[in-house]
Amino acid sequence: MKFVVRLLAAVAGTALIAALSGNEALAQSARNYPDRPVKLVVGYAPGGLPDTVARVVGQALGERWHQQPVVENRPGANGILGAEVVIKSPEDGYTLLVTDNSTTAINPFLYKKLPYRAKDLAPVSMIARAPLYLAAHPSFPANSLKEMIDLVKANPGKYSYGSSGIGSTHHLCQEFMDATLNLQITHVPYKGTGQSIPALVAGQVAMAWSAYPSLAAYVKDGRLKLLAVNSLKRTPAAPNLPAVSEIIPGFNFSPTIGVFAPAGTPKDIIGKIASDVAEAVKVPEVVTRLTNLDIQPIGSTPEEYAADLRADDERYSKAVKVSGAKVD
In tens, the pLDDT along 159-205 reads 999 998 888 889 999 999 999 999 999 999 998 888 999 999 999 99
pLDDT at 28 (0 to 100) = 55
pLDDT at 110 over 50: yes
The burial of 172, by beta-carbon neighbours within 10 Å (0-12 exposed, 13-18 middle, 19 or more buried), is given as buried
Mean pLDDT of the chain: 89
- Has domain 132-246 been given CATH number 3.40.190.10? yes
What are the structural domain ranges in the chain? 1-28, 33-130+256-323, 132-246
Per-residue confidence band for 8, with pLDDT thresholds at 50, 70 and 90: very low
What is the bridge-based pairing of β-strands 160-163 and 186-189? parallel
Q: What is the mean pLDDT of residues 155-159?
A: 97
As a whole-number percent, the residues of the chain with pLDDT over 70 amount to 91
How far apart (Å, rounded) are the C-alpha atoms in residues 86 and 120?
Answer: 9
The reply to whether 132-246 shares the fold of 33-130+256-323 is yes
pLDDT at 6 (0 to 100) = 56
pLDDT at 135 (0 to 100) = 98
Q: What is the mean pLDDT of residues 196-218?
A: 94
Per-residue confidence band for 249, with pLDDT thresholds at 50, 70 and 90: very high
Per-residue confidence band for 99, with pLDDT thresholds at 50, 70 and 90: very high
How far apart (Å, rounded) are the C-alpha atoms in residues 57 and 127?
Answer: 8
What angle do helix axes 267-280 and 302-323 make, rounded to 10 degrees?
80
* pLDDT tens, position by position, 25-37: 545 567 889 999 9
pLDDT at 166 (0 to 100) = 85
* Helix (H) / strand (E) containing 134: strand 132-136
What angle do helix axes 302-323 and 169-181 make, rounded to 10 degrees?
50
> 61 vs 11, which has greater pLDDT?
61
How far apart (Å, rounded) are the C-alpha atoms in residues 299 and 279?
Answer: 8
pLDDT at 5 (0 to 100) = 45
Return phi, psi of residue 54, to 5°.
-60, -40
Q: What is the mean pLDDT of residues 235-264?
A: 94
pLDDT at 13 over 60: no
* pLDDT tens, position by position, 268-290: 999 999 999 999 999 999 999 99
pLDDT at 10 over 50: yes
How far apart (Å, rounded) are the C-alpha atoms in residues 257 and 100?
Answer: 4
* Helix (H) / strand (E) containing 309: helix 302-323
pLDDT at 7 over 50: no
Which of 38, 44, 12, 29 has the alpha carbon at shortest distance from 257?
44
pLDDT at 109 over 80: yes
**What fold is seen in the domain 33-130+256-323?**
D-Maltodextrin-Binding Protein; domain 2 (3.40.190)
